[in-house]
Amino acid sequence: MSEQLLNVVVRKRVEQGEGVVVFDLVDPLGKSLPVFEAGAHVDIHLKPGLVRQYSLCGNPADASAYRLGVLKDPASRGGSVAVHELLFEGSQVAISIPRNHFPLAGDASRSILIGGGIGITPMIAMAHTLQAAGSDFALHYCSRSRSRTAFLDELASASFSERVFTHFDDEAAAQKLDLTTVLATPHADVHIYVCGPAGFMGWVISEALKAGYAEANIHREYFQVEVDTSGDSFEVVAARTGKTVRVAEGQSIVDALAAVGINIEISCEQGVCGTCLCNVLEGEPDHRDVYLTEDEKAANDQILVCCSRAKTAKLVLDI
């Protein structure tokens, strides 16, 4: 079944900070867009073969527009550059229905939102939702420099502005993020949400675990990770087609399958989005993604074929 797509138009494009463009996407006829929950993202179909995911950073209570903030990263695989070069006010683009792999926990007594750089985007939507619900939360926004940072004016004028704390690498030490104080004493109903560069997220997650937070209370969303396809070659059997292929060292499963005519839908190619998720019928995966939870990885019945490999000589997949 093909993915349902929405045709939207760029109503507004504003450059903020350094290298960040904020877009408002609307229905061409002015209709309301499908409702989304905080933490959701959409896939933007930029051109054939180029689909990328971006978090929705607007107020989920406003169905008139979807808001995105995109950092132009020259080191990316072309997605952010294409967004900056192709999308202008009046441009039309196809996007997916919002999907959410980063939802707020419904039973939290307090939420600690920590965004690094462009990782602030899902946190803004979360803050809107938590504020509307009268929930206890704090939003910490870390960036290299105030002059390079997007969304500062918006956050300063938001209804939850007193809950926003900014931290800049090039300013006084006293204002930098002190995780010992921010995380404080862990409680079973306090949840942490983090998004940003992989190194920044690793630091926050490590400190939260060290402080005593349960893994289930630490929620994360990666937007870019390093992909490691090293390791011995192995065999993949596509059960439905009966085809068998050998995956070489340095080659992804999805590329090996494509070579024998089995095309798997992919998007991020980094084990982040879950688009290429396949069921495992036999064998043990070597999970190298950041999409599956630790429990899901331990079950060994699913694999992301864009980045993961095998611990056994053969994997049988339900494809």
- Residues 217 and 117 reside in one and the same domain: yes
- Residues 26 and 84 reside in one and the same domain: yes
Does residue 228 lie within any of the structural domains? no
- Residues 116 and 205 reside in one and the same domain: yes
Does residue 185 lie within any of the structural domains? yes
- Residues 154 and 118 reside in one and the same domain: yes
Cβ proximity of 308 and 288 under 8 Å: yes
Does residue 305 lie within any of the structural domains? yes
Beta strands 110-116 and 190-195: pairing type? parallel
Does residue 103 lie within any of the structural domains? no
- Residues 245 and 208 reside in one and the same domain: no
Does residue 229 lie within any of the structural domains? no
Give me the domain span that covers residue 67.
5-96
- Residues 296 and 246 reside in one and the same domain: yes
We report the CATH number of the domain holding residue 24 as: 2.40.30.10
Does residue 307 lie within any of the structural domains? yes
Q: Which of 153, 151, 168 is nearest to 68 (CA)?
A: 151
Cβ proximity of 244 and 238 under 8 Å: yes
How does pLDDT run along the chain (319 residues), one tens digit per residue?
356 899 999 999 999 988 999 999 999 999 999 999 999 999 899 988 788 889 999 999 999 999 999 998 766 667 888 899 999 999 999 999 998 989 999 999 999 999 999 999 999 999 999 999 999 999 999 999 999 999 999 999 999 999 999 999 999 999 999 999 999 989 999 999 999 998 999 999 999 999 999 999 999 998 765 667 788 899 999 999 999 999 999 899 999 999 999 999 877 777 777 889 999 999 999 999 878 877 889 999 999 999 999 999 999 999 9
Q: Which of 242, 250, 268 is nearest to 309 (CA)?
A: 250
Q: How many domains does the chain have?
A: 3
Does residue 196 lie within any of the structural domains? yes
Q: Which of 303, 290, 307, 289 is nearest to 251 (CA)?
A: 307
Helix (H, G, I), strand (E, B) or coil at 69: strand
Residue where a domain stops, chosen among 33, 63, 96: 96
